[in-house]
């Protein structure tokens, strides 16, 4: 007996007089005690399901056909009063942004108390006892004190655990978790996922787990539904779907993310990107056909139906049989690794910040005694979680901050003026949205360093802009566009081009692929490798994603609380980590092999201390 059943569920939006399909013919069934993974890139329509269940769709969006039944009752046709009674009690949500889901002006105790009162706990004493029991179940220590805290006083991971406790408080039959870990650090992410799975097992709850990470979904879900452009493209048992994908898109997603074990293989970077919502209406055939490596003429004729390829495994593809034949391109010859000549040396760098006001001034040590060298034409990865000092280090290197102690030496002697550092070292920013001036055209953004020199003629600038755009794989016409007219991946390319314009010897890239979808990430990583072949340069690549660092970098530094705890050749460090923190980071990554056991550490009761 299934708990949640969707039959041909479609959601459409009317925007500017047009009716656009947002979700098309979604079919699935979820049994009690099972986990369904909803996987897709951003903008694929993953979050629409949760919003449909809660009837919190944005204005203009409505369920246009099909049914969604919960325990035999139709959620769509249900009167609002009845649905409200279900939500929070029988159906609970775990949100994406734990900090914005909690009210900042109420204490944790007030918020959880309010929720428990709604669940029928009449007296304050009862509610408190229950809250403490719940905190215990999510391994939150010192529950008594936590009740009096405000959300901003505790970490994001703790907030998410409070929300998980609240979600499971009423012993719900269904929990919708919408990317519950994206805003958190890698090691915390793994623990949160483990916690959700544990709670689910203990309470025999059904969970809809929405994520963009196919590998993660494979490890924790029973079934997976892959969405592309609002359409279900593949649906089946998780392990089977991962080991024998029947839709080319699923296969391409797998091949686009770098692996953590075995030989370093090239990535399959899909061309283009998923069409935007407005284009979905005009798609005649399979939405994936324009990017599909095995597409034939028939693919763009009519939309393929979701057909069974094996018992319980369905895919919407007429070329299912060919999917297994999609392989990653042959490994490209890696550019010769760094020569031994150092281009940059950091010597015992320390950075201390003074925080607090006039009274109670505190000193906070962001970097402690950091020494390393970067060699010519070497890609050096820096990994660590937020607060480990990665970004502070980047800002010191490019000269945005001055070190409290220690010094940075470049191969060629440069004075401290930025003008002279410009051709030596450049920074590529994390958030392309914020890094590009929305009022400038792409052409002037990428040639800003010529503008700073002040010698180039407009014609020379335009020529250089065309050249740079070609190098980073954008059409020359893009020069006339504004950043708002570009996609996230294109913006990040422009961001890289601007840093390259002054032909610096060193690029510092701070989490430049972290906000992007897997297929766009693969394109950018390949771009960096291609650039390295064309023009030798060294790069410091900061990331929290170990697999990306493993794919791209020759050497790696592991940072923890402002110190370098381990360093060495990427392959060696990841194959045989020596420091416990490196081991914890590696253990937090879901393994490539779907049948391998993955048991990230649980939260210790004294969470917050060293792992």
Partner 1 sequence: MTRIPQWMMSARVLAGLSVAALICLAALFAPLLAPHDPNEQTLTSILLPPAWLPGGQADFPLGTDSLGRCVLSRLLYGARIAMTVALLSSFGAMVLGAVLAHVAGYFGGAVDWLIGRVVDIWMSFPPVILALIFMVGLGPGLRNVILSIILVDWTRFCRVLRSEVLIVTRRDYVTAARLLGFSHWRIIAREIAPATTPLLITLASLEMGIAVIVEAILSFVGLSVTADTPAWGQMIADARLSIYQSSWNLVFPVLAIFVTVFAFNILGDGLRRTLDVRLAEAQRA
Which positions touch partner 1 (CB under 8 A)?
398-400, 417-419, 421-422, 426-427, 429-431, 434-439, 448-449, 451-452, 498, 502
CB of residue 398 vs partner 1: minimum separation in angstroms?
A: 6
Closer residue to partner 1 in complex, CB, 313/498? 498
Closer residue to partner 1 in complex, CB, 365/420? 420
Closer residue to partner 1 in complex, CB, 266/499? 499
Closer residue to partner 1 in complex, CB, 239/395? 395
Closer residue to partner 1 in complex, CB, 314/421? 421
CB of residue 297 vs partner 1: minimum separation in angstroms?
A: 38
CB of residue 93 vs partner 1: minimum separation in angstroms?
A: 22
CB of residue 424 vs partner 1: minimum separation in angstroms?
A: 11
Find tokens 């000549």 and name the residue: 341
CB of residue 13 vs partner 1: minimum separation in angstroms?
A: 13
Paired with 315 in beta bridges are 234, 307
SS3 per residue for 50-78: HHHHHCCCCCCEEEEEEEEEECCEECCCC
Q: How many CA atoms lie within 13 A of 316 on its CB side?
A: 27
CB of residue 437 vs partner 1: minimum separation in angstroms?
A: 4
What is the DSSP annotation of 33-47? T-EEEEE--TTSSTH
What is the DSSP annotation of 124-146? HHHHHHHHHHHHHHTT-S-HHHH
C-alpha span between 94 and 74 (Å, rounded): 22
Closer residue to partner 1 in complex, CB, 265/481? 481
Cα end-to-end distance, the chain, whole Å: 42
CA distances from 570 to 32, 336, 373, 566, 589 (A): 43, 15, 15, 11, 16
Closer residue to partner 1 in complex, CB, 81/354? 354
CB of residue 488 vs partner 1: minimum separation in angstroms?
A: 14
Closer residue to partner 1 in complex, CB, 15/132? 15
Percent helix / strand / coil, the chain, rounded to 5: 35, 25, 40
Give the residue from 524, 523, 562, 556 showing the smallest Cα distance to 540: 556
CB of residue 448 vs partner 1: minimum separation in angstroms?
A: 5
CA distances from 332 to 267, 325, 539, 570, 597 (A): 10, 20, 19, 18, 32
Q: Is the dihedral of CA 568, 573, 575, 577 positive or negative?
A: positive
Cβ atoms 523, 489 nearer than 8 A: yes
């Amino acid at each position: 007996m299934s708990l949640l059943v969707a039959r041909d569920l479609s959601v459409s939006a009317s925007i500017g007089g047009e009716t656009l399909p947002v979700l098309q013919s979604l079919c699935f069934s979820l049994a009690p005690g099972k986990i369904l993974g909803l996987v897709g890139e951003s903008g694929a329509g993953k979050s629409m399901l949760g919003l449909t269940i809660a009837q919190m769709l944005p204005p203009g969006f409505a369920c246009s056909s099909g049914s969604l039944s919960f325990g035999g009752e139709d959620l769509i046709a249900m009167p609002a009063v009845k649905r409200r009674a279900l939500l929070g009690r029988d159906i609970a949500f775990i949100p994406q942004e734990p900090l914005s889901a909690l009210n900042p002006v109420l204490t944790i105790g007030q918020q959880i108390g309010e929720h428990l009162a709604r669940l029928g706990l009449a007296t304050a004493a009862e509610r408190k006892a229950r809250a403490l029991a719940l905190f215990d179940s999510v391994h939150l220590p010192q529950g008594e004190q936590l009740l009096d805290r405000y959300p901003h006083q505790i970490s994001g991971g703790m907030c998410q655990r409070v929300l998980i406790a609240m979600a499971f408080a009423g012993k719900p039959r269904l929990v919708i978790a919408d990317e519950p870990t994206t805003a958190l650090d890698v090691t915390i992410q793994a623990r949160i996922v483990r916690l959700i799975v544990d709670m689910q097992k203990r309470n025999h709850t059904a969970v809809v787990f929405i994520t963009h990470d196919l590998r993660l979904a494979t490890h924790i879900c029973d079934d997976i539904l892959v969405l592309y452009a609002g359409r279900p493209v593949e649906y089946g048992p998780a392990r089977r779907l991962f080991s024998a994908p029947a839709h080319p898109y699923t296969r391409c997603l797998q091949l686009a993310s770098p692996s953590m074990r075995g030989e370093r293989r090239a990535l399959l970077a899909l061309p283009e990107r998923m069409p935007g919502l407005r284009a979905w209406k005009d798609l005649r055939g399979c939405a994936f056909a324009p990017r599909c490596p095995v597409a034939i003429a028939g693919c763009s004729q009519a939309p393929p139906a979701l057909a069974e390829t094996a018992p319980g495994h369905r895919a919407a593809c007429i070329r299912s049989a060919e999917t297994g034949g999609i392989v990653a391109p042959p490994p490209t010859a890696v550019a010769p690794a760094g020569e031994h000549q150092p281009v940059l040396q950091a010597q015992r760098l320390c950075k201390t910040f003074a925080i607090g006001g006039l009274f109670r001034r505190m000193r906070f040590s962001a970097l402690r005694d950091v020494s390393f060298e970067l060699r010519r034409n070497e890609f050096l990865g820096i990994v660590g979680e937020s607060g480990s000092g990665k970004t502070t280090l980047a800002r010191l290197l490019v000269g945005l901050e001055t070190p409290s102690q220690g010094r940075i030496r470049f191969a060629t002697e440069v004075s401290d003026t930025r003008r002279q550092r410009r051709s030596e070292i450049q920074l590529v920013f994390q958030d392309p949205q914020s890094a590009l001036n929305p009022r400038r055209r792409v052409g002037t953004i990428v040639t800003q360093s010529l503008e700073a020199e002040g010698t180039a003629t407009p014609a020379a600038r335009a020529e250089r802009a065309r050249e740079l755009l070609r190098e980073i794989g954008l059409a020359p016409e893009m020069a006339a566009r504004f950043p708002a007219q570009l996609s996230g991946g294109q913006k990040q390319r422009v961001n890289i081009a601007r840093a390259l314009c002054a032909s610096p010897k060193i690029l510092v890239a701070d989490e430049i692929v972290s906000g992007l979808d897997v297929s766009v990430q693969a394109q950018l990583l390949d771009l960096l490798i291609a650039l390295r072949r064309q023009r030798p340069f060294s790069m410091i690549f900061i990331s929290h994603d170990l697999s990306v660092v493993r794919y791209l970098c020759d050497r790696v530094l592991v940072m923890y609380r402002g110190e370098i705890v381990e360093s060495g050749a990427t392959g060696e460090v990841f194959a045989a980590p020596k420091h416990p923190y490196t081991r914890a980071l590696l253990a937090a990554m879901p393994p490539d092999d779907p049948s391998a056991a993955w048991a990230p550490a649980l939260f210790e009761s004294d969470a917050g201390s060293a792992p």
